[in-house]
Chain A
Amino acid sequence: MIREKSMSQVAKAASSASRDAEVLLSVRNLRTEFVTSNGTVAAVRGVDFDVHRRERVAIVGESGSGKSAMAMSVVGLLQHPGRVVGGTVELNGRSLRGRKDAELARVRGKEVALVFQDPMSAFDPIRTIGAQMVESIRAHQRVSKATARKIAADMLGEVGITNPAQRLSDYPHQYSGGMRQRVLIAMALVNSPDLVIADEPTTALDVTTQAQVLELLDSLVRDRGAALMLITHNLGIVAGYCDSVKVMYAGQLVEEASVPELFGRPAHPYSGALIECVVRPDRERIEVLPSIPGSLPDPTKPIAGCPFEPRCPRGAGDPLCQSETPLLLQIGNGPMPHAAACHYAEEVVR
C-alpha cells in the first residue's frame, strides 16, 4: 500500500515537470531474480522509472547493484538462470512483458537497441562484419542484400570507419577494439531505434578511446532523436552526456535527479559518497583514492531497513534506518524533479 502511494507520487512529480515530453519507456515495480545453488539472488528489487523521448538518462551504481540485470529484463534478454518475477515494462505504450520471442524480436533493434560492454566478444567470430550488419538491417527493413550492404557501408562511414565498403568484408578479429565498439554502435543505430540502452559501453576501452566513443554515441543518438539510457559505474562520464541520473543500489533506485541537481545537491548519502569517489584533477593531490567502505548487502537475503545503512555515514546504527526501508520520495520544491530514498534526505541534501 505504502509502496504504491509513493509510486504515484513520484510519477505525478515526474509528469508535471515534463508535461510536454512523451513517456517512451515506463517500468513499474520490476523485479528480477537469479536462482543459484547459493540461494535466490534478488538482483532487481522493485524498480519504477520513466524514460521520455529524447531523454538521456544515466543509471549509476557499483558492480552488482543490478543495473545490467535491469536493462536485460527490460528487453526480455535476461540469461538463464535469471528471470523477471514481476512488474511491468511498457515501450511506446505497449507492454513487453509476457510476449513471444518473435514479437519481442520485432521490437529489439527497431524500437530499443543495445550497445554492449565488451566489443571483443559481441560479434560472431566466423562471419564478416558486413554479413552481421546486413542481417541486422534485414531483420527490420524489407530491402535487398545489396541495398542493405549499402546502408551498412554508409553507417560504418558515419561511425568513422575508413573504406567502409571494403571493411564490410573483414572479420571481427581484423578490427581493433575501439573500431569494434564503433561498429557495435553502428549496428545498434542502423535501424534508428527510439531508445538506445548502452551498458558500460566504454569500460573495455582505454581512456583516450572512451571519450571518442562516447562523443560518437552521443552525436548519433541526438541526430536520430533517440533516447539514451547510459548504464555506468563511472559518474565522471555522466555529467557530459546525460540530462538526468538514476542511482541504483542493491537492486533499488535510491535517487533520481537531473544532472546538475544530483552533482550540486545529492540527497542520498550513497550518491554523495559516489560523487566523492570521482577523481578530479583540479582538486589538490590526494594520497589515497576515496572509496566507500563495506560492500553490497548479501543479495540472497531479504533486506530489513535501508540497504545502505551499514555503510552509511549518516544512518549507520540508526534505529529508524535499521528497521524501515525508506521510500523513493520527492524532496524539496525545486523546478526539477528530485527524489531520494533516505529517511534523512532533507537533511542530507543541505
Chain B
Amino acid sequence: MATRLPASAELGVTAVLIALGSAMLFGAFAVYRRKRGADIALRTASTLAMGTPSFWFALVMLLIFSVQLGVFPGPEGRLSPTMAPPPTWTGFYTLDALRAGQFLVFLNAVWHLLLPAAMIALGPFAFLSRLFRGQLRNSAREPFVVVSRSRGLRRGQVFLRHVVPNSVLPLVAATSLLFAELMTGSVLIEKVFAWPGVGSATVDAILAKDFAVVQGVILLSAALYVTVSFLADITYALIDPRIRVGS
C-alpha cells in the first residue's frame, strides 16, 4: 500500500490538474470570445467526452499513440523497465526524481503519466468545463460587470478580475470531490496502463478474497473525502468573503 497509494495519487493529481486547467481555459475562451462556433465545439467535445467509456478510449489511444506512432510508452507502468525508480521521498516519482536531480527519470515519469492521466481527466474535463462555462455566463450577466465597465475598465479586464473570480467557487467544490475520488485510483485505467496503483490492488484483493485490503482501501478513501472536503471549505472562505465567519 505504501507504494500503491502514491502511484494512484500521482496519477490522480495529474489528471485533476489536466482536467481543471483545460476546463478553465476552454470554458473561459468559449464564453469570452462569444463565438458561437467555439461554444458549440466545447459543448460537443464535452458531451462526447462524457459519453465515451474512458477505458475503451484509452485502448484506442494506446493503439494510436503507442503502437502506431510510438510517441507515448505502452502499458508498462510508471517508468520504462530499464529505468530505476528514484529514491523514495514523497512516493511521487516526478517529485522524487527532481529532488534527487535525476532529470531523465523525471522526464520518463512525466512521459508515462500523461496518457493515463489524460484518459482519467476526460470525464472530469467534460463536467468541469460545462460547469465553468455556465458559471461564467451567469457571472458575466451580473450588474457589477456593466458597472465596472462604466468606470472605465475594458471588457477583458472585467472578465479576468471580476467574472472569473466570481465563477470559480462551484469549481472548487466539484474539483474537491473529483480529487477524493481519483486519489484512490481508477480501476479500469490502472488496469489498461498496468499502473501499480490502489485501483488495480483493489481488484486483485477482491479476486483473492483478501478483505483486509478492501477494508483498508475503503477506510482510506473515506478519510480522503473528509480531508478534501474540509480543505475545500477553507478554500471557499479564502475566495468568498461572505462565507467567512467570526469577527
Q: Which residues of A contact B (CB under 8 A)?
A: 72, 75, 77, 79, 101-102, 105-110, 113-114, 116, 118, 121-128, 132, 135-136, 139-140, 171, 173, 184, 187-188, 191
Contact = CB atoms under 8 A, between A and B. Distances in A.
A130 B21 CA distance: 30
Contacts of A102: 154
Contact of B149 (A108, A118, A187): A108
B101 interface: no
Contacts of B153: 105, 135-136, 139
B152 A105 contact: yes
Interface string B73-101: 00000000000000000000000000000
Which of A108, A110, A124, A127 has the most CB atoms of chain B within a 10 A radius of its CB?
Answer: A124
Interface string B157-169: 0000110011000
Contacts of B242: 125-126, 171, 173
Contacts of B141: 79
Interface of B: 141-144, 146-155, 161-162, 165-166, 239-242
A269 B237 CA distance: 57
Contacts of B166: 124-126
29 contacts: A79-B146, A105-B153, A107-B152, A108-B150, A108-B151, A108-B152, A109-B151, A109-B152, A110-B152, A113-B151, A114-B147, A114-B150, A121-B144, A122-B143, A123-B147, A124-B162, A125-B144, A125-B242, A126-B166, A126-B239, A126-B240, A126-B242, A127-B161, A135-B153, A136-B151, A136-B152, A171-B242, A188-B151, A191-B152
A77 B149 contact: yes
B241 A171 contact: yes
A80 to B, nearest CB: 9
Given A106-B152, A124-B162, 6 more contacts: A105-B153, A113-B150, A122-B144, A125-B242, A132-B148, A173-B242
A105 B161 contact: no
Interface SS of B by simple majority: helix
Nearest to A103: B154
Contacts of A75: 150
B240 to A, nearest CB: 5
Given A124-B166, A126-B239, A171-B241, A116 B152 contact: no
B154 A122 contact: no
B137 to A, nearest CB: 11
A118 to B, nearest CB: 6
A127 B239 CA distance: 9
B241 A77 contact: no
B239 A118 contact: no
A106 to B, nearest CB: 7
A173 B150 CA distance: 21
Which of B143, B165, B166 has the most CB atoms of chain A within a 10 A radius of its CB?
Answer: B143
